[in-house]
Amino acid sequence: MDFASFLIQMLNSLQYGLLLFLVASGLTLVFGIMGIINLAHGSFYMIGAYLAFVLTSMTGSLVMAIVLGIPLALVFGAFLEWALFSHLYKRDHLEQVLLTYGLILIFEQLRSLLVGDDVHGVAIPAFLDASIQLTEVMSYPVYRLAISAVCVVLAVALYFVIQRTRLGMMIRAGNDDRTMVESLGININMIYRIVFALGVALAALAGMLASPISSVFPNMGSHVLIISFVIVVIGGIGSVWGALVAALIVGFADTFGKVLVPELSGIVVYVVMAVVLLWRPEGILKKG
């Protein structure tokens, strides 16, 4: 591999990792702050992508679709929390796993009923539809760079909200000691609803952003789900920074794995996860 290729592969790893981070961030928030394992998280990614497809077909613009889609996702998330997830806080992990597993089936079938089973494409917004020439044969799509930029901005924003705002403080406190927070007069139910809705919206946004480059198709949530869990566990449940670091690690492992050890590239990610868990069972960066 020559140096130019190496650099481009680094760029590929970075871009893939950042997108994974966007999906995983919502999961780690819900997991860490509310203590809920949500297997349906991949479905939210899928819902986002299909929302992008449907809304772009209606409005003709992906940007418009995202602007409309985010509030829709937030409302949907809040509704789900109120209807189903609020009952899960006191239940054990097995029941959460199973209930959310049932949700995956329900969401996939509803998708099939409502939108059908065909593969769809979503158009890249015209102002981003260009490429930057990197070498004499290869160019890099501007859209991918744009997605990476959005992910970085969101990472910073998330950090800011959680570490530097009152809302964030309440969220962190509620995670440490729910009853104490309630006795202080803070409505913990509302906080949980907000966090959950945020988690859903983050996953859906990732789906929307990725839809032009990944296409929109049945079962697209499956792969993303498992990878998200791996990232959350490697990074430390509840830690947004941890999710970022872990997502980048996974991005590099996957990219270079494909090039250097193609036969084993499927396994590399799990080996990394197992090693991390056995070395530091709480994840690389503990809750923070």
Q: Which of residues 190-249 bind another protein (CB under 8 A)?
A: 213-220, 223, 226, 229-230, 233, 237
Binding residue (CB under 8 A) for another protein from 98, 126, 153, 180:
98
Q: Under a CB-based contact definition with an 8 Å cutoff, are residues 171 and 162 in contact?
A: yes
Provide the minimum distance between the beta carbon of 89 and another protein in the complex, in angstroms, as a whole number: 13
Q: Which residue has the tokens 């966090």?
A: 195
Whole-angstrom Cα distance, residue 177 to residue 228? 26
As measured in angstroms, the least distance from the Cβ of 71 to another protein is 26
Residue 149 makes contact with another protein by CB under 8 A: no
**Nearest residue to 42 via CA among 70, 9, 64, 20:** 20
Residue 170 or 272: the one with the smaller Cβ distance to another protein is: 272
Output DSSP code: residue 39.
T
Q: Which x/- pattern over 13-32 shows residues binding another protein (rule: CB under 8 A)?
A: --xx--------------x-
The verdict on 86 binding another protein (CB under 8 A) reads: no
Tokens encoding 58: 């209606």
Q: Is 114 in the site for another protein (CB under 8 A)?
A: no
Nearest-angstrom CA–CA distance, 40 and 96: 10
Q: Which of 51, 154, 195, 273 binds another protein (CB under 8 A)?
A: 273
Q: Choose which of 59, 135, 165, 187 interacts with another protein (CB under 8 A).
A: 135
Residue 88 tokens read as: 């899960």
Here the tokens at position 219 are: 């079962």
CA distances, 40 to each of 100, 102, 177, 203 (Å): 5, 8, 26, 11
Min dist. Cβ of residue 67 to another protein (A)? 22
Binding segment for another protein among 22-30, 141-149, 160-168, 177-185 (CB under 8 A)?
141-149
Among 21, 45, 50, 143, binds another protein (CB under 8 A): 143
41, 198 Cβ separation under 8 angstroms: no
CB of 213 to another protein, least distance (A): 7
56 binds another protein (CB under 8 A): no
- CA 23, chain centre distance (Å): 1
Task: Tell me which of 112, 163, 165, 187 binds another protein, using CB under 8 A.
Answer: 112
Task: Establish if 58 lies at the interface with another protein (CB under 8 A).
Answer: no
Task: Show Cβ contacts of residue 46 under 8 Å, excluding neighbours closer than 6 positions.
Answer: 107, 108, 111, 207, 220, 221
Among 140, 172, 173, 194, binds another protein (CB under 8 A): 140
